[in-house]
Chain A
Amino acid sequence: MTTDIPLAMLIELHETMLKMRLAEERLADALLAGEIRCPVHLYTGEEAVATGVCAHLNEGDYVLGTHRSHGHYLAKGGSLKAMMAEIYGKVTGCAQGRGGSMHLVDPKLRAFATPIVGATIATAVGIALASSMRGDGAVSVAFFGDGATDEGRFYECLNLAALYKLPVLFVCENNFYSTHLPMEARQPADNIYQRAEMFALPGVRVDGNDVCAVYRVAGEAVQHARNGGGPALLECRTYRWRGHVGPHYDLDKGLRSPEELAAWQARCPVKRLEQTLLAEGVLTNDDLTSIHWRIEQEVDQAIAFAKSSPLPEAGDLLKYVYNDEQGR
């Protein structure tokens, strides 16, 4: 049942997830066609997490992501055109072609990402510290994979955020693999959400392929942080369909079974919501077709924009190394 979530929100959640999915399907094609050179880590299969969490954020809130952050960027309101242009290495990209897929950033939207594992968890804590000092009411969300919970900094950050009671939400996208290495080869217990207890924080495990479930849990956690209640840890259990990096499914590599992938694909977060929307009469099949068509048009335009945009000038290599403006 989804009656507790407003219909307009359900439609928005669906469109956001679908935008991620269709954009990344197109990226996979472009990668296979050799149009893109930079490393691209696709979020396909995990769309419900960023979507369900970011639906509770407003313009003043911050999102900190990772190497796999197309979803976080789009869910925070990022521009498809600027994202595609960035991935194509163009000067019209969201980071002027200096970042690529792993550094999607838009300070106006307060969306940031970098690929060193766990680094941006601390960034989120620091931004939350600033919010707490200023009393500006903003919430920071750190998205990270289960691989980041192998890092000592994850625990340091839980400790610091709990100690200073900061408005930050830790969202672990547990897709059960750290590049090629499965959970059971890295951690002796399957209990990421319970690690919040060590720091006297709330920790919740949620089906990360059910956008409504993520939406509900995140709503409480964001509100809790916004009201001065301090941080919380969400473990969203999900699955990346494709390999760690690039467009391939990598099933030939012997790292996971086709059955495992098929089982998760059967729980596709986009299709699940679509079935609910149809079953509850929120949307018709015709509605879905027209939404798909509209978003595909948008993706087409973004790709066309990326392809037709200029590359950065070689003479600008030194641009942006230092900030020349003293910040008074």
Chain B
Amino acid sequence: MREISYGRALNEATRQLMEHDERVFVVGQGVISPWYVGMTTEGLLDRFGSRRVIDTPVSEDSVTGMAVGAAIAGMRPILVHPRMDFALLAMDQLINQAANWHYMSGGQVTVSLTVRLIVNRGGEQAAQHSQSLQALFAHIPGLKVVMPSTPYDVKGLLVASVYDGNPVIFIDDRWLYDAVGPVPEEMYEVPIGRAVVRREGKDVTIVASSYMAAQAQRAAVRLEEIGIDAEVIDLRTVKPIDSELAIESVKKTGRLIIADGGWAACGVSAEVAALVAESDAVKDLKAPVRRLALTPAPAPMSASLEQAYYHDADDIVMAVRDLLGESEF
């Protein structure tokens, strides 16, 4: 199969959706900019024109509300917030409005809206340009939250999100944009709400999503070199979360590490730990569950602090070795 980058796959999915369906349009800040959202919307303006590729004023709240309104009227908008941090201005429209419309109308109103929230951290951007706030959205009934980690998934999940019939928070990570992998040329869907086993193993289960899922696979390769056989589960969707694979895996390995790009407190890693603790897999645990999440501090600026703040494959390897030490591997 042909291999393309994550960013290119996102671009291709958007273009194919717009070609396939008149109701799909792209709206948000920087969507006609050559650099604002990477290459993910490159060429769309030329192909579809400014009526379907709408680069908006910096009005996050009302632009989000506008996208919700268009969705209520039957369109399928792809709304883009180039930095997730800025979408906080639109929380009323996302949480009070989009998430609740179907319920509070007794099932009569649907909001088929895809909201791309881009994680855009690193580069000394500091506290307000770097956040991974998936937990905020995953808390909310009525929203779905997807966090693709591969070029294949980013295309398939965008298609699935646009056709889902619910508001979907689609979190893509710029640290993944250059990752290359096999992607079919035609349109296809990756089902929302299904995790996947990326690598089978018997010694320890690593559950992760998005960038951390990619890092977990790297970590697993290194762990193999030192004789540790790690199973890697990529959540892909964090709401509704699919804990089944994690639970089955823990029954086999007896050890669980959850790596998440957000904070630990009330976060995605806490949710996975709780779901495993509530399942019968809890009896199979040979060691305490370990969470690898951000230090509970705002995103720092200086490179030295950033280096310490963000986790990668090395940190996962260390956490696994620690955990196995604790359980007398």
Hey, which chain B residues are within 8 Å of A157, CB to CB? 62, 65-66
Chain A positions within 8 Å of B117 at CB level? none
Closest partner residue, chain A, to B67 (CB atom): A126
Q: Contacting A126 at CB < 8 Å: which of B70, B96, B106, B163?
A: B70
- Which residues of B have CB within 8 Å of A326? 163-165
Tell me the minimal C-beta distance from A96 to chain B in angstroms. 3
Taking the closest CB of chain B, its distance from the CB of A131, in whole angstroms, is 7
> A96 CA to B104 CA in the complex, in Å?
9
How many Å lie between the Cα of A164 and that of B166 in the bound state?
A: 26
Q: Specify which chain B residues have a CB less than 8 angstroms from the CB of A175 in the assembled complex.
A: none
Are A327 and B106 in contact, CB atoms less than 8 angstroms apart?
no
Contact A153 B61 (CB under 8 A): yes
Interface SS of chain A: mixed
Which of A97, A116, A124, A126 is the most central at the interface, judged by chain B CB atoms within 10 Å of its CB?
Answer: A126
Taking CB atoms, residues of chain B closer than 8 Å to A325 are 165
CB pair B107 A96 closer than 8 Å: yes
Contact call B103/A122, Cβ cutoff below 8 A: no
Task: List the one stretch of A73-81, A225-233, A316-324 in contact with chain B.
Answer: A316-324
- Residue on A with the closest CB to B51? A133
Q: CA–CA, A131 to B70, complex, Å? A: 8
Residue among B52, B62, B92 making CB contact with A125, cutoff 8 Å: B62
A114-B96, A153-B62, A326-B164 known; A123 and B106 CB under 8 Å? no
The reply on A159 being an interface residue by CB < 8 A is yes
Contact between chains at A99 and B106 (CB < 8 Å): yes
Q: Count residues on chain B whose CB falls below 8 Å from chain A CBs.
A: 45
1/0 per residue, CB under 8 A from A, across B31-56: the answer is 00000000000000000000110101
Say yes or no: B142 contacts A160, CB within 8 Å.
no
The one of B25, B66, B144, B166 in contact with A122, judged by C-beta atoms closer than 8 angstroms, is B66
Does chain B have a CB within 8 A of A256? no
**Would you call A119 an interface residue if the criterion is a C-beta within 8 Å of the partner chain's C-beta atoms?**
yes
Residues of B within 8 A of A105 (CB): 104-106, 108-109
A328 touching B65 by the CB < 8 A rule? no
Residues of chain A at the chain B interface (Cβ within 8 Å): 62, 64, 93-99, 103, 105-107, 112, 114, 116, 119, 121-131, 133, 140, 152-153, 156-157, 159-160, 163-164, 319-328
| Extra contacts besides A122-B62, A126-B69 (13): CB < 8 Å | A64-B69, A97-B106, A105-B109, A107-B108, A114-B97, A129-B75, A130-B75, A133-B25, A153-B61, A153-B62, A157-B66, A322-B166, A328-B163
Q: List 6 A-B contacts (CB under 8 A).
A: A94-B106, A105-B108, A112-B72, A122-B69, A152-B61, A153-B62
Pairs of residues from A and B, 7 with the lowest C-beta to C-beta distance, nearest first: A126-B69, A122-B65, A96-B106, A156-B62, A130-B73, A126-B66, A123-B69
